[in-house]
Amino acid sequence: MGKPRTLYDKIWDSHVVHRQEDGTCVLYIDLHLVHEVTSPQAFEGLRMAGRKVRRPSATLAVADHNVPTSHDRLAGIKNEESRVQVEQLAINTKEFGVDYYDMSDIRQGIVHVVGPEQGLTQPGMTIVCGDSHTATHGAFGALAFGIGTSDVEHVLATQTLLLKPSKNMRITVDGELPVGVTAKDVVLAIIGKIGTAGGTGHVIEFAGSVIRGLSMEGRMTVCNMAIEAGARAGLIAPDETTFEYLKGRPQAPKAATWEQAVNWWKSLPSDEGAVYDREVVLKAEDIAPMVTWGTSPQDVLPITAAVPNPAEETDEHRRAAMERALKYMGLTAGTPLDAIPVDKVFIGSCTNSRIEDLRAAAKVVEGRHVADGIYAMVVPGSGLVKEQAEAEGLDKVFTAAGFDWREPGCSMCLAMNDDKLKPGERCASTSNRNFEGRQGPGGRTHLVSPEMAAAAALTGKLTDVRTLN
Amino acid sequence: MEKFIRLTGVAAPLYRPNIDTDAIIPSREMKRVSKEGLGEGLFADWRYSDVAARVPNPDFILNRPPFEKAPILIGGANFGCGSSREHAVWALKDYGVRCVIAPSFGAIFQGNCVRNGILPLVLPEERVAALANAADPRPVTVDLEALSLTMPSGEVLTFAIPPADRQMLLEGLDPIGVTLKRLPAILTFEAEHLRRHSWI
């Protein structure tokens, strides 16, 4: 027996094609997901160099970032630039022989919802995409991370990447989550604790009884935001929950191969005694429903807290950043967070647009109505999520309450399509980034869970969902 | 790829922590299918007081002489965090920026810089703060061969960079071309890997 290894070490080791003297490795990539915004220049690069896609069958393309979410979208994308990007993806995938789910395909949706839903995302794989939220797929015990377009081209041409191994970090969340506290609150609490650069240079393995107890949807929410802590990737050891989710999915292994695959997957969890470069521990009981107050995901507090006072911050750089954030957010120190009124509510994004997220939000909404003057939207993560939600009658719950029920896409998470905030508008959002201008120039974002977003829509202000029940 | 060996120019201070790639180029500015012309969208929400009309915001550093055409930026910690969008790097390059000095970088952004001939130069926080606070209008010289940064005063600082990144920048390597030289090894690995994991 060799040295005990982590889940990350095992996946890494099993994909090294070649190791250079300085430690840089040629790493084999099992699955490459492609979308319309970060791929056109990569396909163009291949074309210019006369190169092909090395393994089209390991590549899947879907348009998500700037597709409209309006019900008339199949009549054509009105925004010229968006239309060109989406059309170019269709042209490129056809020319290079890559599978493509277009807007008319029920399987179309946010790339990080589609991969798992189709059973393409599997334990032990290496998965990349020209999108930082590729970390989502780590929920299956796959090493999954975002890459730039030069690397998209590199993977298309070679099915490999040049990379140095990251350090191992383990974040353990033990105990029992209080009522009203979700996977989103867990990951926001983690980012609040270690900071937006806390995971830099590391791959984070999330562990502990709370993580074990999460559904696959919840695990995806946690891993999705590993990048918001600066980590290369997030990982969760595969277990029965993982296998149960995967079994029977269109692209999952079948029959005898299924048994073989499960046997291998069971060998992947970190060995006893494996050493981590950094360990962080959180207690579930200390976590409350969270909400961000500033312009970085680390600017986060329990909903029961108040807007922090920069004057109490001793670090001068941190103080300046806080002052700038409060000015941008239009907030005054000391204001209770649950007294902050919102204009819009967004339920969607690769963080929180899966069926379980929609069920949780619908449960809060049922029998109630969106507050006067509030615009609230639900954007399912994929056509299949939308179909499932409609089969369960969730769309009726939302529309009866005054929500707008839309077509799948990234939507107001990054405001590349028409779904955006106007300057000064404030939004309770289930997305992942509260950066300045992220949801529209001058827009103000408060990151929350689906339940908390639903609660904010009903009251018209940031609200502790626990007080509604 | 364009080589990076030596660069002399003014360094514009934009010293804030966590400048994310959404700030470097907002999503609205990257609806293009080529790498060209993205410089116009660089820091759009900060650089223009009216983004649609492209009215410059006089308070923004890149609108203030002598920093309008600065080939070097001085950023804060975790510069380039967030989205993987390489458009952020293409926008910097299209604008004329060839080097960013910061205490630390977002990992994906840092890799994207190296692949586009932009030097991500790491210095200790206090050094970066001093450089930014000085806002010296005189040029500095970055020498990647010597791993040195020569200040207007003549003072010379040294810096470190991973050897592979340095080589890629100095030689302007095409990483795909380099990797494809290993194609036989990749094919051998792939055959065995897919034999053992036939469901992949």
Q: How many CA atoms lie within 13 A of A121 on its CB side?
A: 30
How near does any CA of chain A get to the CA of B9, in Å? 27
Q: Are B76 and A317 contacting, i.e. CB atoms less than 8 angstroms apart?
A: yes
Query: Annotated binding site of A, which residues?
Result: 350, 410, 413
Going by C-beta distance under 8 Å and a sequence separation of 6 or more, which residues neighbour residue B83? A131, A132, A414, A433, B20, B21, B22
Judged by CB atoms closer than 8 Å, whether chains meet at A148 and B22 is answered as: no
So what's the pLDDT on residue A3? 93
Substitution target in B35, B84, B178 with the highest count of A β-carbons within 10 Å is B84
Residue range A413-423, pLDDT digits in tens: 999 999 999 99
Judged by CB atoms closer than 8 Å, whether chains meet at B27 and A164 is answered as: no
Substitution target in A151, A228, A268, A444 with the highest count of B β-carbons within 10 Å is A151
Judged by CB atoms closer than 8 Å, whether chains meet at A162 and B179 is answered as: yes
Asked if the domains A7-163 and A290-467 are classified in one and the same CATH topology, the answer is yes
| Burial readout A217-236 (b: 16 or more C-beta within 10 A, e: otherwise) | bbbbbbbbbbbbbbbbbbbb
Chain A residues whose beta carbon lies within 8 Å of the beta carbon of residue B200: 30, 58, 122, 125
Options 1.20.1270.10, 3.40.50.300, 3.40.1390.10, 3.30.499.10; which CATH number does A290-467 get? 3.30.499.10
Chain B residues whose beta carbon lies within 8 Å of the beta carbon of residue A253: 199
Chain B residues 130-159 with a CB less than 8 Å from chain A: none
Distance CA B156, CA B149 (A): 6
A267 touches chain B (CB under 8 A): no
Q: Which residue in this structure is represented by tokens 């759009």?
A: B44
pLDDT for A259 beyond 90: yes
pLDDT for A32 beyond 70: yes
ipTM over cut 0.90: yes
- Please name the member of A253, A318, A435 whose beta carbon is closest to the beta carbon of B20: A435
Q: Which fold has domain B7-161?
A: Aconitase; domain 4 (3.20.19)
Alpha carbon of residue A41 to chain centroid? 24
A44-63 mean pLDDT: 97
Q: Which residues sit opposite A404 in a β-bridge?
A: A377
A431-449 mean pLDDT: 98
pLDDT for A1 beyond 80: no
- Please name the member of A20, A158, A196 whose beta carbon is closest to the beta carbon of B18: A196
So what's the pLDDT on residue B1? 82
Q: Which residue in this structure is represented by tokens 């393409």?
A: A120
Chain B residues whose beta carbon lies within 8 Å of the beta carbon of residue A196: 18, 78, 81
User: Is B136 exposed, middle or buried (CB count within 10 Å of its CB: 0-12, 13-18, 19+)?
Assistant: middle
Judged by CB atoms closer than 8 Å, whether chains meet at A158 and B108 is answered as: no
pLDDT for A317 beyond 70: yes
So what's the pLDDT on residue A24? 94
CATH number for the domain formed by residue range(s) A7-163: 3.30.499.10
Indicate the pLDDT class of residue A301, thresholds 50, 70 and 90.
very high
- Nearest alpha-carbon partner for A378 in A335, A400, A391, A111: A400
pLDDT for A300 beyond 90: yes
**3-class DSSP state of A315:** coil
Distance CA A173, CA B91 (A): 40
So what's the pLDDT on residue A205? 98
Q: Which fold has domain A167-237+261-286?
A: Aconitase; Domain 2 (3.40.1060)
Query: Annotated binding site of A for [4Fe-4S] cluster, which residues?
Result: 350, 410, 413
B183: closest chain A residue by CA? A158
Judged by CB atoms closer than 8 Å, whether chains meet at B82 and A264 is answered as: no
How near does any CA of chain A get to the CA of B84, in Å? 5
Judged by CB atoms closer than 8 Å, whether chains meet at B27 and A65 is answered as: yes
Distance CA A37, CA B33 (A): 8
Judged by CB atoms closer than 8 Å, whether chains meet at B22 and A438 is answered as: yes
B24 touches chain A (CB under 8 A): no
3-state helix, strand and coil shares in percent for chain A, rounded to the nearest 5: 40, 20, 45
B82 touches chain A (CB under 8 A): yes
User: Is B192 exposed, middle or buried (CB count within 10 Å of its CB: 0-12, 13-18, 19+)?
Assistant: exposed
Judged by CB atoms closer than 8 Å, whether chains meet at B33 and A414 is answered as: no
Question: Can you give the pLDDT of all 200 residues of chain B as single tens digits?
Answer: 899 999 999 999 999 999 999 999 999 999 999 999 999 999 999 999 999 999 999 999 999 999 999 999 999 999 999 999 999 999 999 999 999 999 999 999 999 999 999 999 999 999 999 999 999 999 999 999 999 999 999 999 999 999 999 999 999 998 999 999 999 999 999 999 999 999 99
So what's the pLDDT on residue A469? 65
Going from N- to C-terminal start, the domains of chain A cover: 7-163, 167-237+261-286, 290-467
Residue range A190-233, pLDDT digits in tens: 999 999 999 999 999 999 999 999 999 999 999 999 999 999 99
Judged by CB atoms closer than 8 Å, whether chains meet at B179 and A26 is answered as: yes
Distance CA A143, CA A235 (A): 7
Going from N- to C-terminal start, the domains of chain B cover: 7-161
Compute CA distances A114 → A6, A62, B178, whole Å. 28, 9, 33
| Burial readout A34-52 (b: 16 or more C-beta within 10 A, e: otherwise) | bbbbbbbbbbbbbeeeebe
Distance CA B200, CA B196 (A): 9
